[in-house]
Structure 1
Amino acid sequence: MSSGDRPVPAIALDQFGLLCAVLAAVGFSFKAILVKLAYRYGVDAETLLALRMAFSLPFFIGMAWVSVRRATSRLTPQDGVWLFGLGLLGYYLASYLDFLGLRYISAALERLILFVYPTLVVLLSALLFGQRITGRVLSALALCYAGIALAVAHDWRLVGSTRDLALGSLLVFGSALSYALYLLGNGRVVNRLGVLRVTAFASIVAGLLAIGQFLLLRPVAVLLLQPGPVYALALAMTLFSTVLPVWGVSEAIRRLGAGPVALTGSLGPIVTLLLAWLLLDEALGVGQLAGAALVIMGVTVMARR
Structure 2
Amino acid sequence: MNENATASGQHTIPRPALVAGLAIAIGGAVLFSTKAVVAKLLYRYHIDAVTLIAFRMLFSFPFFLAIAVWKMCTEAPLPVIDRWRILGLGLIGYYLSSFLDFLGLQYISVGLERLILFLTPTFVLLITSLFLKRHISRIEWAALAASYCGIILVFVHDLQGGAGNAVIGSLLVLGSAISYALYLLFCGELVKRIGTLRLVSYAMCVSSVACIAQFFLLRPASMLVQPMPVYWLSLVNGIFCTIFPVFMTMYAVRRIGAATASQAGMVGPVSTLFLGALILGEPITAVQLAGTGMVLSGIYMLSMKK
Q: Shorter-chain TM-score: what band?
A: over 0.9
Residue 290 (structure 1) shift: 0.4
Could you list the structure 1 runs, at least 4 aligned residues long, displaced by more than 6 angstroms after superposition.
none
Which consecutive residues of structure 1, in runs of 5 or more, have no partner in the other structure?
Answer: 1-8
Alignment of 1:184-203 (within 5 A): 184-203=185-204
Taking the TM superposition and a 5 Å limit, the aligned residue runs for 1:95-244 are 95-161=98-164, 164-223=165-224, 225-244=225-244
CA separation in 2, counterparts of 1:58 and 1:126? 39
- Is this contact kept in 2: 1:108–1:269, CA < 8 A? yes
Q: Letter of the 2:99 partner, please give it.
A: Y
Encode CA deviations 1:71-114: one digit per residue, 9 max, x unaligned: 3x321110111001100011000000000000000001000000
State the structure with more CA Rg: 1
Is 2:273 aligned against 1:273? yes
Over 3 Å counting, the alpha-carbon distance change for 1:58 and 1:149 in structure 2 is: same
CA shift, 1:69, in A, is: 4.4
How many residues align structurally? 293
Counterpart for residue 87 of structure 1: 90
The match for 1:301 is 301
Matching residue of 2:256: 256
TM-score (norm 2): 0.93
Shift of 1:14: 2.7
Q: Would the aligned equivalents of 1:154 and 1:285 in 2 still touch at CA under 8 Å?
A: no
Q: Is the 8 A contact 1:147 1:293 kept in 2?
A: yes
Letter in 1 for 2:93: G
| 1:114–1:173 Cα contact (<8 Å) kept | yes
Could you tell me whether the CA contact under 8 Å between 1:89 and 1:178 is conserved in 2? yes
SS class of match (1:66): helix
Matching residue of 1:5? none
Q: Please say if residues 147 and 298 of structure 2, whose CA atoms lie closer than 8 Å, have aligned partners that are also in contact.
A: yes
Structure-2 change in CA distance of 1:280 and 1:45 (3 Å): same
Deviation at 1:11, TM superposition (A): 3.6
Tell me the CA shift for residue 68 of structure 1. Answer: 2.9
CA distance in 1, matches of 2:254, 2:274: 29
1:52–1:237 Cα contact (<8 Å) kept = yes
Percent of residue pairs bearing the same amino acid type: 45
- Structure 2 unpaired stretches of 5+: 1-12
SS at 1:75's partner residue?
coil
Residue equivalent to 1:289: 289
Q: What is the TM-score when the length of structure 1 is the normalising length? A: 0.93
